[in-house]
């Protein structure tokens, strides 16, 4: 296949995923939300035709985790690298070595990611762009597409900061690599992002993301109206930590 999608993922284990959502969520709630977003992302990617699909799992992950639908169309690999940049770079290199000419890398953090967005990324790459970014509201990106492997696009960044996308675009200019942007999206990393997700589900019918919609509706209730339950369920950083932007 000339086009490949890499889905970067973790096993949805409480305490290991979406920890910046705790509070307002309990670790088990955060893990369940992540599992819903991951399943929806895999299902959306599976609907894109004539592409290779690779699932890169952060280690350690049990051998049987994420084996059934909607993950069955994906070939699995372990993530390797000291930081997010090295892991994405390694995943992209694997896809290119296996015959891809255009590679799109996504995570499971942005429920608005659609099959149409993935197709548009491939179109951008096939019509002149060397790199394509899906800007995220936190200053990073929810998608990056490449027309060739280049580790310089992933090295030397401070990940999980509000400057990631700006610095990545600047790196492209230094490398004389033509780049383009897709419509913006929003990762779900904080309590404020949960509220934004609830509003988004009420105003957007697509993509379907049925697991995420069911979870968020169950959490906020049919009428919404803010964080349910105890007073501890308010947007904010985990206790004893600093608030920071990025994923």
Do 92 and 103 form a contact (C-beta atoms < 8 A)?
yes
Report whether the peptide linkage leading into residue 70 is cis, meaning its omega lies within 30 degrees of zero. Answer: yes
Report pLDDT for 65: 78
How big is the CA angle at 54 (ends 136 and 193), to the nearest 5 degrees? 25
Helices 27-46 and 210-220: crossing angle in degrees, nearest 10, is: 150
Distances (CA, A) of 30 to 139, 196, 212: 22, 16, 12
Q: What does the alpha-carbon distance between residue 114 and residue 110 come to, in Å, rounded to a whole number?
A: 9
Assign 63 to helix, strand or coil.
coil
Q: For 101-133, what is each residue's pLDDT tens digit?
A: 999 999 999 999 999 999 999 999 999 999 999
| pLDDT above 70: residue 18 | yes
Q: For 167-209, what is each residue's pLDDT tens digit?
A: 999 999 999 999 999 999 999 999 999 999 999 999 999 999 9
């Amino acid at each position: 296949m000339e086009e490949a999608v890499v889905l970067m993922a973790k096993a949805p284990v409480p305490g290991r995923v979406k920890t910046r959502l705790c509070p307002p969520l309990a670790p088990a709630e955060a893990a369940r939300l992540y599992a819903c977003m991951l399943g929806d992302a895999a299902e959306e990617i599976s609907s894109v035709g004539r592409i290779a699909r690779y699932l890169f799992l952060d280690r350690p992950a049990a051998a049987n985790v994420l084996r059934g639908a909607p993950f069955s169309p994906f070939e699995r690999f372990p993530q390797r690298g000291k930081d997010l940049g090295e892991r994405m770079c390694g995943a992209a290199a694997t896809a290119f070595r296996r015959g891809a000419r255009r590679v799109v890398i996504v995570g499971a953090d942005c429920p608005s990611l659609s099959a149409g967005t993935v197709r548009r990324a491939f179109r951008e790459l096939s019509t002149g762009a060397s790199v394509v970014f899906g800007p995220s509201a936190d200053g990073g990106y929810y998608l990056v597409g490449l027309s060739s492997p280049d580790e310089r696009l992933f090295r030397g960044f401070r990940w999980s900061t509000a400057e990631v996308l700006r610095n990545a675009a600047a790196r492209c200019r230094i490398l004389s690599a033509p780049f383009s942007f897709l419509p913006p999206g929003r990762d779900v990393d904080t309590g404020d992002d949960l509220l934004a997700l609830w509003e988004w589900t009420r105003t957007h019918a697509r993509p379907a993301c049925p697991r995420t919609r069911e979870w968020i509706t169950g959490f906020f209730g049919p009428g919404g109206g803010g964080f349910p339950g105890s007073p501890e369920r308010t947007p904010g950083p985990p206790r004893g930590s600093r608030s920071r932007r990025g994923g």
